């Protein structure tokens, strides 16, 4: 398992974002050399946890629980076959393009050591938005991506440091519960009846997912 590509985005003006200034950092490109990763601060204040990476719409993206976004190269390759076009690493807006790691099969609370310094913890799956759809230029993309159910993973920073393309990835902790990224994604999108089962992941789960699960339980009672 390794970090195949480290990807950063720059603020770009587009016509497919609801950001007040019409900018997005979703178009991320591979970079050479080490990049520092650290907790950025609370959502709405902090942006990306990756130095030099732009997160423009901080109402919905960035912050400590969405500090880093990872997507598997294997899943990009699968989408290449379905879409009939090449997809460079970073195309899905991911900071980390991995190789040999089942990203959407990772458990909430799972911890990865990347290189010699950085430890990241899985918090949730990525929810597709209209900016993502506009960036890909695929009609019905939000629905199609959701139906696929392999959203990639958001991660929080447990131990900061520098990482670079080619660094090995090691799973240093894998919790003993059923809540994978794909399971969590289905629960908050298409299978709401699964929401109560998310709580087995405890505090490692993204706070917004915890709130959804608790609200669902309250409505049932």
| Closest to 96 (Cα-Cα) out of 30, 174, 180, 43 | 30
Question: Residue 205 falls within a domain, yes or no?
Answer: no
* In contact, 130 and 142? CB cutoff 8 Å: yes
In this prediction, residue 122 carries a pLDDT of 98
| Structural domains of the chain, count | 1
The pLDDT, as a whole number, for residue 39 is 98
What pLDDT sits at residue 166?
98
Q: Report d(CA 47, CA 65) in Å as an integer.
A: 10
Q: Which residue has the tokens 């339980």?
A: 217
What is the DSSP secondary structure assignment for residue 128, as one 8-state letter? P
Q: Is residue 191 in a domain?
A: no
In the block, which residue shows the tokens 């919790």? 175
Q: What's the rounded Cα separation, in Å, for the pair 31 and 186? A: 32
In a domain, 187, yes or no: no
For 177, which DSSP code? Answer: S
CA dihedral 206, 97, 82, 80 (to 10 degrees): 160
Is residue 206 domain-resident?
Answer: no
**CATH for 58:** 2.40.33.20
Low-confidence ranges of the chain (pLDDT < 50): none
Q: Is 44 left (phi over 0), alpha (psi -120 to 50) or beta?
A: left
| pLDDT computed for residue 21 by the predictor | 60
Per the domain annotation, does 22 fall within a domain? yes
pLDDT at 20: 65
Instruction: Tell me the C-alpha distance between 92 and 97, whole Å.
Output: 10
Domain that holds residue 17: 2-178
171: which 2 tokens?
A: 């799973």
The answer to whether residue 210 is domain-embedded is no
Q: Please indicate, yes or no, if residue 214 is contained in any of the structural domains.
A: no
Structure-token pair, residue 8 = 């950063």
Residue 204, domain member (yes or no) = no
154 with 123: CB under 8 angstroms? yes
* Residue 190, burial from CB neighbour count under 10 angstroms (0-12, 13-18, 19+): exposed
């Amino acid at each position: 398992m390794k970090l195949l590509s480290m990807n950063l985005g720059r603020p770009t003006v587009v016509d497919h974002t609801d950001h007040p200034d019409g900018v997005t950092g979703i178009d991320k490109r591979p970079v050479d050399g080490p990049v520092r990763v650290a907790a950025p601060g609370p959502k709405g204040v902090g942006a990306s946890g990756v130095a030099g990476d732009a997160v423009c719409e901080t109402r919905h993206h960035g912050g400590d629980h969405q500090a880093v976004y990872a997507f598997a190269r294997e899943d990009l390759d699968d989408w290449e076959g379905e879409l009939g076009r090449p997809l460079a690493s970073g195309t899905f807006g991911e900071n980390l393009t991995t190789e040999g790691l089942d990203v959407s099969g990772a458990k909430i609370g799972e911890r990865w050591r990347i290189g010699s310094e950085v430890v990241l913890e899985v918090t949730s799956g990525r929810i597709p938005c209209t900016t993502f759809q506009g960036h890909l230029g695929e009609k019905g993309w939000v629905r199609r991506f959701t139906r696929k159910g392999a959203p990639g993973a958001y991660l929080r920073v447990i131990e900061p440091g520098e990482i670079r393309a080619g660094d090995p990835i090691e799973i240093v902790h894998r919790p003993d519960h059923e809540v994978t990224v794909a399971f969590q994604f289905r629960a908050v999108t298409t299978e709401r009846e699964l929401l109560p089962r998310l709580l087995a992941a405890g505090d490692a789960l993204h706070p917004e997912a915890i709130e959804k699960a608790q609200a669902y339980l309250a409505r049932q009672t």
